[in-house]
Structure formats: C-alpha cells, structure tokens
Amino acid sequence: MSDVNDLQALTTSIGEYTLDTLGKETVTGLQVSMDGVDHNGRITVALKDNSDAEQKRVLRELFEIEQMYFDEAALSFDFVQDIDEVSLLHPEAKSFIYA
C-alpha cells in the first residue's frame, strides 16, 4: 500500500473508532483531518448536547482515543456547532467526515 493509502486508512480508522466510541447518538457531525507530512491530526466534533458537562465527558473519551493512536498520530480536538467541509485548513490533508 502506498503512503497516501496508509494515511487515508489511518484517518478513516481514527474517525470510525471515534464515532463508535462517542456514539452516533451523541454527535451531529465528526471530522478527522490528518496531515501527511507530520501525522498531526485534528478531530472536530459537533455534539447534539454542546454543554460544558458533555464536552468534558467527551474529552475524557477523546484522550483515550489519543492514547490508542499515540504511536501513529498526534491528535488535537475541537468542538464546533456544525461540521463545515469547506473549513479544512489544508485541502491536501486526508479526511474522514460524518455528518
């Protein structure tokens, strides 16, 4: 498999695992974007309940996900109201989107 396919597979794996961990019933959207050069990834989450308490609960789960992929990617997290596909900062980055 080429590096591009490996990166897309990693990005999709992180996205699917995150969605399964958080639960489809808790999110209105999820986006994972991964930079191919340094494997820095960003998980952007739009929660149905965007309260502080729910964000804290979800952050604990996201930290566990970060630990699972520690050797493969450096992950950061954002909470947003809506997932906007156009908001990708690096259009060349591989992405996983659930909306």
Summarize pLDDT for 66-98 with one digit per residue, the tens: 999 999 999 999 999 988 754 555 555 678 888
pTM of the model: 0.85
Residues sharing a CB contact under 8 Å with residue 76, sequence separation 6 or more, in sequence order: 40, 41, 42, 43
CA 82/CA 84 separation, integer angstroms: 6
Which amino acid makes up residue 63? F
- In this structure, how many other beta carbons lie within 10 angstroms of the beta carbon of residue 56? 9
Summarize pLDDT for 47-63 with one digit per residue, the tens: 999 999 999 999 999 99
**How high is the pLDDT of residue 56?**
96
DSSP string computed for 19-61: HHHH-GGGEEEEEEEE-TTT-EEEEEEEESS--HHHHHHHHHH
